[in-house]
Structure 1
Amino acid sequence: MSTTYERIADEIRARIRSGELAEGDPVPSTRRIVAEHGVAMATASRVLDALRRDGLVEVRRGVGTVVAAGAGAGPAARPAPSVGDVVRAAMTVADAEGLGGLSMRRIATDLGIPTMSLYRHVRGREELLTRMLDAVYASAPLPDPLPDGWRARAEVCARTMWGAFQRHPWAAHVMSMTRPQIVPHGVPHTEALLAAFDAISGQAFDIDTRMHLTVSVFQFVRGVGVSIEPALLARQDTGMTDEEWMDRTVPGLRAAVDPRRYPHFTVAASTDIDLTLDSLFEFGLARLLDGYAVFLGETPSAP
């Protein structure tokens, strides 16, 4: 584990190697390091000593400590990243390792910049997660034109979101239903459903009813979607598929259950049922929309 002075030195090294601090530019003084990082003067001095030993900085009379000649040159130098670069780097980490592997320090390391430089693009982790969620919506546009009919449109919206959650399993955890984030690319999804529920079978529904119908669809998809990431991480941790895990677990479950007290559960545990997240999504969506059909005065579909 790196010490405090090594961590600060690493941040300044990254700024030099990325080209953010060019040859001849002044580097943070000991007083500035003390002020920005809350460390002792001795620690700040060790930071600059380490950079001098690496040949990255030099002391120039009348100027102070600056980036040494050639320190930031060569193939390692990179242009400063954009907001899009930061978001894409964060999504790459989250897609591969889940939200648990995501940190501002990790993103900065992958981009080869100091951690504090990220805050020029995003105010913090919450804003970064919101931008990531917006990027997920941007990658999953609704078809144009949308199908006619409220049910067909609800199915398209739900399946589009479900596909996005499968590609980015962390996104369902980020999405909030009670404190919705500002995600401009998500607005078309909301608008599509609000419009779909506008007038059905000659009935006009107020905006309060239509918003509840709309958000309930999103909530259902999110509710199933939050299980995608844990399922993927469990496969990585155990090396077993869900089917293999069930094959190993069910015999013990059967032995632990008294069939006289739980006859229906015993039958279910003894039956080969194809129960997956996809099947739960499709079955649940169909039954949800069947309920909508009754509420809207239409006939529900056959199971």
Structure 2
Amino acid sequence: MAESTEPPYVRIAAELSRRIADRELAPGDKVPSTRQVAQEFGVALATATKALDVLRAEGLVITRPRSGTVVAPRRAAKGGEAAELTRERLLAEAIEIADGEGLEAVSMRAVASRCGVAPMSLYRFVEDKDELVAAMADTVYGSAPFDRDPGAPWRSQVESLARELWRLHRAHPWLGRTQPLTRPLPLPNIIRLGDRLLGALEELGLPPKLLMDVHVLLFSHIVGLAGNFEAEDEAASETGLSSEEWTDLQYLPRTGDSAFMVDVPHFAKLFGELGALPGGYDLDLDGLFELGLGLLLDGVEALAARLKTARPDA
């Protein structure tokens, strides 16, 4: 019998797929780790990694932050028949993949597998992955009302809109990657949000260019901070360490080095042996969002007042 010419990672992926199909590995079960796969099949870690990547691409497994890789849930309607494929269902499955595994895990094959259809079926609704991602982002932005009360003070309007946008990006950290600052997509729902924000700021009477700059700064503050949730989830999954554990390992040797701390006296006042923060500094992204929002709005308000004083007839 001729020996198989398939690469080892393909054979391993096929065997793991069989176990999933036969329910030896049921939905929600942890999938063997890269090291366990390497040991079981007698291959290098890189080969085991490629095999697991095949399963991810096919939507058979998902990686959950801090939980590891598990068998993906099966999607079926009552009676065991596949539910009808619609644009709404396609986008819902794609968003769920992005929320659980990150934007890189979203592929036409992975989404099709979750929907129980052939990949070509998706092209009835989206032209390619770029269009899919844009539609995902617009759907998420459209899921929040972003209500604005024109009769409320400008600051409370802006705070309400900003906090709603923060909650959205916190829940879907991949969202900001679809809207880079220099090349944002003209999504209908993000433009509607921008229009509400501009309307809330209008009361300040800022020059048009400055008005748009403030709008961009507020959006950037939210997106930039929220992106750290996704980065931290990825880092925690890769290292097995929380951000606090990683920071302690990296920084305690520095702050405990008295010779080094002599050269950084301001740092020493905070983190040295007799520093003001003996327990260290705990990063709080929610707290930083609120602090940054307050500082931004304080600055905008002061700037608007200065401009009004300089142009009393305005």
Contact 2:194 2:215 in 1 (8 A): yes
1:215 maps to 2:223: no
Indicate whether 1:91 and 2:95 are aligned.
yes
> Counterpart amino acid of 1:231?
E
Aligned residue number for residue 251 of structure 1: 252
Q: After TM superposition, give the deviation of residue 206 of structure 1 in Å.
A: 4.0
Question: Following the alignment from structure 1 to structure 2, what is the Cα–Cα distance between the partners of residues 176 and 157?
Answer: 20
Residue 247 of structure 1, CA deviation: 3.6
Given the alignment of the two structures, is residue 237 of structure 1 paired with residue 241 of structure 2, yes or no? no
Specify the alignment match of 1:228 in structure 2. Answer: 229
Output the CA distance in 2 between the equivalents of 1:153 and 1:187: 17
Matched, 1:288 2:280: no
Q: 1:149 aligns with which of 144, 150, 153?
A: 153
Question: Within 1, Cα distance between the matches of 2:235 and 2:151?
Answer: 37
Which AA in structure 2 matches 1:218? F
CA distance in 2: counterparts of 1:128 and 1:139, whole angstroms? 17
TM-score (norm: length of structure 1): 0.67
In the TM superposition, what is the alpha-carbon distance from 1:177 to its structure 2 partner? 2.8
Count of residue correspondences: 227
Q: What is the deviation of 1:197?
A: 2.2
CA drift at 1:251: 1.6
Residue 98 of structure 1 deviates from its aligned partner by 0.8
State the Cα distance separating 1:282 from its structure 2 match: 1.6
Looking at structure 1, the residues matched to 110 and 133 of structure 2 have their Cα atoms a distance apart, in angstroms, of: 14
Instruction: Indicate the SS of the match to 1:216.
Output: helix
Shift of 1:183: 2.1
Matched to 2:111, the amino acid is I
Higher CA-based Rg: 1
| Residue 117 (structure 2) aligned to one of 113, 117, 120 | 113
Structure 1: stretches of 5+ with no match in the other structure? 7-73, 299-303
CA contact (8 A) 1:98 1:229 kept: yes
CA contact (8 A) 1:134 1:186 kept: yes
CA distance in 1, matches of 2:169, 2:144: 10
1:126 aligns with 2:130: yes
**What is the DSSP-based 3-state SS (H/G/I as helix, E as strand, rest coil) of the residue aligned with 2:288?**
helix
Q: 1:159/1:112 Cα in 2 relative to 1: closer, same or farther (>3 Å)?
A: same
Q: What do the CA deviations read for 1:214-250 (whole angstroms, capped 9, x no partner)?
A: 1221111111122110112223334433333334433
Percent of residue pairs identical: 31
Query: CA RMSD for the aligned pairs?
Result: 2.6
Contact persistence 1:197–1:210 (CA under 8 A): yes
Q: Which moved more, 1:204-213 or 1:79-88?
A: 204-213
Q: Which runs of 5+ in 2 are unaligned?
A: 1-8, 15-77, 307-314
Query: Which amino acid is 2:158 matched to?
Result: A
1:82 shift after superposition: 1.0
Cα distance in 2 for residues equivalent to 1:191 and 1:155: 15
Compared with structure 1, are the counterparts of its residues 135 and 277 closer, same or farther at alpha carbon in structure 2 (3 Å cutoff)?
same
Alpha-carbon distance between aligned partners in 1 of 2:305 and 2:148, rounded to the nearest angstrom: 28
CA contact (8 A) 1:87 1:131 kept: yes
Q: Deviations over 1:172-192 (max 9, x none)?
A: 111233222232222332112
In the superposition, the TM-score normalised over structure 2's length comes to: 0.65
* Structure 2 contact 133–178 (Cα < 8 Å) conserved: yes
Given residue 159 of structure 1, which amino acid in structure 2 is its aligned partner?
R
Deviation, 1:127, is 1.1
3-state SS, counterpart of residue 275 of structure 1: coil
Partner SS, residue 296 of structure 1: helix
Alignment of 1:1-303 (within 5 A): 77-143=81-147, 145=149, 148-200=152-204, 204-255=205-256, 258-270=260-272, 271=277, 272-297=280-305
- Where 1:232 maps in the other structure, the secondary structure is helix
Distance in 2 of aligned mates of 1:273 and 1:209? 35
Distance 1:267 1:100 in 2: 42
